Structure 1
Amino acid sequence: MPLPTIEWEGDINGRIRLIDQTLLPTELKFVYCEDIKSIWHAIKTLMVRGAPAIGIAGAMGVVLGVKDIQAKDTDAFLKELKQVTTYLGASRPTAVNLFWGLDRMERIARENKDTSVPEIKEALLQEALRIQNEDKIICRQIGENGAGLIKDGSGVLTHCNAGGLATADYGTALAVLFKAKEQGKHIKVYADETRPLLQGARLTAWELVHAGIDITLICDNMAGHVMKLGRVQCVVVGADRIAANGDTANKIGTYSVSILAKEHKIPFYVAAPVSTFDLSITSGNEIPIEERSPEEITNGFGKRTAPEGVKVFNPAFDVTPASHIAAIITEKGVIHSPSRENIQRLLGTSMR
């Protein structure tokens, strides 16, 4: 059973407990967020990361943010709530699950507008817990739907971390692998280290070792060579935002992996909940790409590895075109050959 990445402790006046993922794999430490600034900082600095987990953190962050709102009437409360969600939304711009979670919280508040302010606060807490519990179910279903794509004896390449640490429970991309193992399939996973913050090395490798799955860690620039050697039969990655046409934003380096997979005729799969789809965006060209601190590259993990004054470009994500993706695995089913029509056929037109 995976460790709980993020949990709410107590009642409406409670706090968030989460694993500080910046310390893994050498130290397993829980940190506690008791106000909105601390959860904003946790999201921004990647103490909590992964699109579904960020959505949960954002929802719980709303509860922290409204604890001290003293508004007497609901109209005034809703105005202050909007300030809370706007503030939290500024923590990370690419992962659409964050905004999906914040939108859900705003909607619940509006639906309870005719009640008292304390009742709205309680409704918000219950909605945040509901989002967390739903994600646990969703992750298991993604694993169930995707495991059929993994053949016994396969070598699987993954990039970044889309396991239990990125969700409420079981992961997205790694859920597919966990379920395949439960079905008795023998798989060998190759995990890209995932520069510059090494989520593959620090997090994915840590999860898979503890799950008893055969895992080999490789540098990002080894992926093509491993494919050429015939050791990889498919690629499975997560996603942070998926456009209406199937273009997918994921951790930087994913696009390069998709090109390598296409060249070697290896199926490239994306595993993500339907909340990761943003149908208001027609293509990946419209997905905002977060740029992070130059120090993540020049001073990785506290040691300078580049000369002072060098210019740095540090996008956190890139976009893989739908034409490179064999299928998108969701809790509602598998979307083969992703396109606007195939996505809408499975999801309908009611998605955000």
Structure 2
Amino acid sequence: MTTENRYEEQLQAAIDGIRPFNEAYARRARQHSDGLTKPPGSLGRLEDLAAQLAGITGELWPELSRKAVIVMAADHGVCEEGVSAFPSSVTPLMVHNFLAGGAAVNVLARQAGAEVVCVDVGVAAELEHPMLLSRKVMMGTHNMAKGAAMNREQALQAILTGIEVVSSQAEQGVRLFATGEMGIGNTTASAAIASVLAELSPEQAVGRGTGISDEALAHKVKVVQRAIAVNDPDRNDPVDVVAKVGGLEIAGLAGVYIGAAMRGCPVVVDGFISSAAALVALKLAEGVRPYLIASHLSHEQGHRLLLEKLGLQPMVQLGMRLGEGTGAVLAFHYVEAALRLMQEMATFQDIGLENS
């Protein structure tokens, strides 16, 4: 058996192991919510979230205090085309910043009581740090505007890496996950994935990323168009798409979603790049869908359309476009609020009234 075939089998086994959403517990959570001292439905999305968490975990009020944001880091060969306002050398510098606790996601994770788990799945530099999870598949992808970003075996390996990282964290007691990423050029790869899998035009999918000019934006659209034309990815085969026009950290995040669903854990989706990864995961395994919680609407142009394709509704719109998992970590507070309201509010029965 080839390595590629073995990886295919491992991925299928993980997909087959996804736990079904527990509709009975979701109903019980809604019934409890309707009995609280408030008009039914008046807490809006927080009530929906509480029911979703119950259905995901099979527990009425799950204990989700151990939480982590998985930050996948990798580089992109397409940066050779001048699609970003920053050079690829920023990627390893930012990885060290995550590990030192100085990035925005570290600050917000500390506020939320969450861990930051940084994974090198394809940074184009040698990195060593005691807190870094070194899972490097290759030293960055190839230039997708000239050929495939990676081969199928490498894409599968990156997806399996995400599954493995989540499984390891779950075994250590983490029960709530968020997705984050770092990789200069990854909005270009995400736009290409969105164009193929969500059937958006490159003009719809491509945004300004790190803050490029109008001229650079038009060039970025042409690069995505060329990458799709050169590689002809098969939209019916999400692994083929992520291999040809994707990124290693995007593939890794797709694995995070599958791994979380396999472990019965909710996973909060960050912005545009994390949503592109969620689309890859969803195309691989429809059973992932009920485990996904959309955090925020990014300022990146294609994010709204991508969320619509995913069937997800973001909780907030803050004009953010940083990535790293920053928006997803902020959503941890909404998860905690939903659970605390359901657990701590009095019911009509508690105060001697019938709930009509």
TM class by shorter chain equals: under 0.3
Structure with the higher fraction of residues in helix conformation: 2
Say which structure, 1 or 2, has more relative contact order (CA 8 Å, 6+ apart).
2
Structure with the higher fraction of residues in strand conformation: 1
Q: Provide TM-score, normalisation by structure 2.
A: 0.26
Q: Provide TM-score, normalisation by structure 1.
A: 0.27
